[in-house]
Amino acid sequence: MTTQFDPDESTARTAADRVFEALQSAIIRGDIPAGSRVGETELAERFGTSRGPLREALRRLESRKLVERTPHVGIRIASLTHEALIEIYYVREALEGMAARLAAMHMTPEEVAGLRALLAEHERDEALQADTAYFQQEGDLDFHYRIIKGSHNRALTDLLIGELYHLVRMYRQQFSAYANRPQKAFGEHLRIVEAIEARDGDLAEMLMRRHVSSARQNIERHLNEHEQTPM
């Protein structure tokens, strides 16, 4: 069951980078169950490398909050609590709101056009698939990615895409995503794009914040209904 790579595509970089990406994918996709303890030796031979590069990969994953390490004890795959997810959504609200504001200021006309094209594509898919949520999931990520990159703010982009979104994706995998009202989300996306086209930074930020906030409230409602956190 050793993982196999394309020998010319991924070997370009160093082995530590390969095992880092592979391990990250494995965690996000749920191939390694969340919250489980794993040994370094086990992981090392699983990914066909030594413990040296593996440990470096683990350090990076630790800073991304994907694994937890306790000295002399071991590694466990991160299992996020619902509270942590809610906290992340507050951060997303602040950062993506700012991203939308900056996108309205700095996006090139080509980027805006691409954004609207993406939205049109979503509309077709949505019309076809009505309320199936999964494809819309990836489309939703794509939409947010474009606005984040449209901010042309590297610090903001690195923080959101490099640090936060991995956790969000792991979450969606763990709890197979709360039904996230694709038609409502699409309408919100539409209005955000309109605000960006109008170069209205204030409005774009406000709409994006409400969009993220709605998603958070939607999750909180689900949690209260299902009473998943008795405590």
Partner DNA sequence: ACTGGCTGGATTGTCGACAATGGCCCGGGA
Partner DNA sequence: TCCCGGGCCATTGTCGACAATCCAGCCAGT
Give me the residues that bind a copy of itself (CB under 8 A), please.
13-14, 17, 52, 55-56, 59-60, 63-65, 71-72, 84, 87-88, 90-91, 93-95, 97-98, 102, 153-156, 158-159, 163
Q: Provide, rounded to whole angstroms, the least separation between the CB of residue 17 and a copy of itself.
A: 8
| 69 makes contact with DNA (CB under 7 A) | yes
How far CA 124 is from CA of 111, 128, 134, 186, in Å, comes to 20, 6, 15, 11
Partner interacting with residue 84 (select from DNA, a copy of itself, none; CB below 5-8 Å by kind): a copy of itself
CB under 5 to 8 A by kind: which of DNA, a copy of itself, none does 118 bind?
A: none
Give backbone dihedrals phi and psi of 69, rounded to 5 degrees, phi first.
-120, 140
Q: Where are the beta strands (DSSP E) in the chain?
A: 37-38, 67-70, 74-77
Is 24 a residue that touches DNA (CB under 7 A)?
no
Please, what is the minimum distance in Å from the beta carbon of residue 180 to a copy of itself? 20
Name the residue among 94, 93, 77 with its Cα closest to residue 42. Answer: 77
Residue 184 tokens read as 């409502």
Burial 202-214 (b: 16+ CB within 10 A, else e): ebbbbbbbbbbeb
Count the residues in the chain: 231
**Hey, what amino acid is at 46?**
R
69 binds, among DNA, a copy of itself, none (CB under 5 to 8 A by kind): DNA
In angstroms, what is the minimal distance from the CB of 147 to a copy of itself?
14
Provide the minimum distance between the beta carbon of 39 and DNA in the complex, in angstroms, as a whole number: 4
User: Nearer Cβ to DNA, position 45 or 111?
Assistant: 45
Q: Which does 106 bind (CB under 5 to 8 A by kind): a copy of itself, DNA, none?
A: none
3-state helix vs strand vs coil in the chain, percent to 5: 70, 5, 25
Among 10, 14, 36, 224, binds DNA (CB under 7 A): 14
Tell me if residue 18 falls in helix, strand or coil.
helix
Does position 60 interact with DNA (CB under 7 A)? The reply is no
Task: Return the number of the residue (54 or 119) whose C-beta is nearest a copy of itself.
Answer: 54
Query: Which of 65, 67, 84 is closest to 76 using CA atoms?
Result: 67
* 128-147 binders of DNA (CB under 7 A): none
| C-alpha to C-alpha distance for 128 and 124, rounded to whole angstroms | 6
**Interface contacts to DNA, rule CB under 7 A:** 14-16, 38-41, 49-53, 55-56, 69, 71-75
